[in-house]
Chains A and B, each alone.
Chain A
Amino acid sequence: MYAYDEIDRTLVNERVSEFRDQVQRRLSGELTEDEFKMLRLQNGVYLQLHAYMFRVAIPYGTLASNQLRQLAHVARKYDRGYGHFTTRQNIQFNWIKLSDLPDALADLAEVGIHAMQTSGNNMRNVTSDQWAGVAPGEIEDPRIWSELIRQHTTLHPEFSFLPRKFKIAITASDHDRAAIKVHDIGLRLIKSEKGETGFEVLVGGGLGRTPFIGKTIKHFVHGRDLLSYIEAILRVYNQYGRRDNIYKARIKILVHELGIEKFSREVEEEWQHLRNSSLQIDDEVIEDIRSRFIYPAYEKLPHMPDELRQAAAEPDFEAWRKNSVAPHKNPGYSIVTISLKPIGAPPGDATAEQMDALADLADKYSFGELRVGHEQNLALPHVAKRDLPALWKALDKLGLATPNVNLITDIIACPGLDYCSLANARSIPIAQELTRRFANHELANLIGRLHINISGCINACGHHHVGHIGILGVEKNGEEVYQITIGGRADESAALGNLIGPGVKFDEVADVVEDIVEAYLALRERPEELFVDTVKRLGVEPFKERVYATR
């Protein structure tokens, strides 16, 4: 966990007072909506179809049990008893009243939570690997650097009025769980030959209307130069990024239009003015941040305790363990992913009761700490292996032990037309139907790792471009139509999916996915060949033929 200092606490509290005043002036008519809109967006408040939506930041996905309890309290007191975890380590409340928002923010501030950097044309919540600090083989904890960027960019005037929103993600493991290649800036923490900490810097990734995979702009930036290099990128973007056309305003468009070579030359030139300035980071600054991350006092525990050996005879436990439990850097412990994708439920939703219960389980089994991943699942990052059977039973009682992590029913979906004012089509009912179709665990296991991502419009909040199967809802002649892509991926081998053919109607989507899966099972060379690898080997055609042969 990260322990905020007095400056952070003061900032968050002052922000609440400021917003309370702004809301009062809006409700009295002193501020018009045009004047107020930017102020509410800077505090995570959107207007959606039915109500205001309140997006709260969970920086780098790290959450303390008392913070989760307070999120449950907000869900219960000010909303409708549940929250929705997003694809960027935030939580959203869908039904909140503007008049209640200052109180909700004040309640969150009590536990150091806020909504800064969750909306608007500024630097957004810096995201990271949800297994940061506990993943075996990790070079070092990337959250230290995420926190550095968070501190530097929060309310920074130069980054508060960018051409468009700006997203940074950091990973420090070989396997990219933070989707860095589809961010405006992606940072991969590496070590130089001399053992110095630095970053491979990628730029210009992003999804939405015009998707791009990020390109490497610099193979190694020393850690001490990270802020100056990021600032150089942002300055070039701030100067040349388009403000006249919202659809061309993201940095990915600038990088694409200038070309990575010219863009990198511009950045390099800017960086020469900045790199030896006050932006150079002293080791003490990093050490101060590092010292504020509190790591558990792990016990020396057996790798294979009796409790785990005995529970292995229970098939349901084993199914869950194989699916949801990952190795920890400390061999006596595990990382446990908690699927927020029960069969038939909206992906990423958790009720206040579940949040409270998970907070209790985090206290009992994970040193009071949880994580939020971009796949819209949660994790307990420090579970002793001896406690796994007891934890599984407790999660099962809560309906949170669905053994489907990384399987076909572990679907990423945006809120879609059920909630979102930008959406053209519904996402959640499509996800629900797909989970019912593939509810059989043996079938899901037979299929293996397969990510389905669903977006209800071209803005791509469900990251459909990088789904192994991507589903994009559009509106055509007043009807919901869904375009299907295959072969996308969001990891270290990130790729954009390819369209298989004409869009299909709402009630045909699940049938089409079944056809694609059946084709895959028939076409794969061996059971270990993942769906996305079969698509890479064979291309779209065999799947297209299967889907459209009878349509």
Chain B
Amino acid sequence: MTSPLQQKIKIAGPSIVTANRTWDGIVVYRTANKGWSAELADAAIVRNSDEAKVLLAEAVADDVGAIGPYIAPVQVGDDGVIEPGNLREQIRKAGVTIELPAQG
């Protein structure tokens, strides 16, 4: 499989790096202090391909912390609030769009 670092990186707007945490699989976002957070608000924002490459390389290097890192688009509001940039990321952030069965 091609490493994410070998793929051509081209971003069209503000982006983040996201992955799934290794031990439990939950969605996590790469932070500016070289860690992972379950909150999109904590994600480091990159705005050009060079920044994106660096952030992705850091994420890939942390193979124990999280798996499958990739760059995803976001929208950043005037108030600085970060929102997912597409439906897939919206679902990853907010959960399934259907009602789950009540837990017994």
Determine how close the nearest CB of chain B comes to the CB of A433; give it in whole angstroms: 11
The interface centre, meaning the residue of A48, A98, A419 with most chain B CB atoms within 10 A of its CB, is A98
Interface flags, B80-104, vs A, CB<8A=1, else 0:
0000001110011001111011111
B23→A98 contact, CB < 8 A: yes
- Interface residue A52 (Cβ < 8 Å from any Cβ of B): yes
B86→A478 contact, CB < 8 A: yes
Closest to B92 in A: A49
What 3 A-B pairs have minimum CB-CB distances, sorted nearest first?
A51-B25, A97-B24, A418-B96
A29→B63 contact, CB < 8 A: yes
A80→B27 contact, CB < 8 A: no
Known A-B contacts A47-B68, A81-B104, A418-B91; A26 and B22 likewise in contact (beta carbons under 8 Å): yes
**Which B residues form the contact surface with A (CB < 8 A)?**
1, 20, 22-27, 63-64, 67-68, 86-88, 91-92, 95-98, 100-104
Give 5 A-B pairs besides A27-B23, A47-B67 with Cβ atoms closer than 8 angstroms. A28-B64, A49-B91, A80-B101, A429-B97, A429-B98
Known A-B contacts A82-B100, A432-B98; A99 and B23 likewise in contact (beta carbons under 8 Å): yes
Known A-B contacts A29-B63, A429-B97; A52 and B104 likewise in contact (beta carbons under 8 Å): no
B64→A352 contact, CB < 8 A: no
Determine how close the nearest CB of chain A comes to the CB of B100; give it in whole angstroms: 6
Closest to A98 in B: B23
**Which of A29, A51, A351 is close to B24, meaning CB atoms less than 8 Å apart?**
A51
**Which of B22, B91, B104 is close to A98, meaning CB atoms less than 8 Å apart?**
B22
A417→B87 contact, CB < 8 A: yes
Contacts of A49 in B (CB 8 A): 27, 88, 91-92
Closest to B65 in A: A29
A349→B101 contact, CB < 8 A: yes
User: For the side of the interface on A, what is the size category?
Assistant: 35 or more
Closest to A35 in B: B63
A52 to B27, CA, bound (A): 11
A34 to B92, CA, bound (A): 23
A127 to B96, CA, bound (A): 30
A478 to B12, CA, bound (A): 14
Determine how close the nearest CB of chain A comes to the CB of B35; give it in whole angstroms: 16
6 residue pairs of the A-B complex, CB under 8 angstroms, read A29-B63, A33-B22, A49-B91, A76-B104, A417-B91, A429-B98
A47 to B22, CA, bound (A): 10
- Interface residue A151 (Cβ < 8 Å from any Cβ of B): no
Known A-B contacts A27-B22, A32-B63, A33-B63; A418 and B98 likewise in contact (beta carbons under 8 Å): yes
Closest to A94 in B: B96
- Interface residue A124 (Cβ < 8 Å from any Cβ of B): no
Determine how close the nearest CB of chain A comes to the CB of B93; give it in whole angstroms: 10
Interface flags, A342-380, vs B, CB<8A=1, else 0:
000010010111000000000000000000000000000
- Interface residue A426 (Cβ < 8 Å from any Cβ of B): yes
B103→A81 contact, CB < 8 A: yes
Contacts of B24 in A (CB 8 A): 51-52, 97-99
A515 to B8, CA, bound (A): 44
A51→B20 contact, CB < 8 A: yes
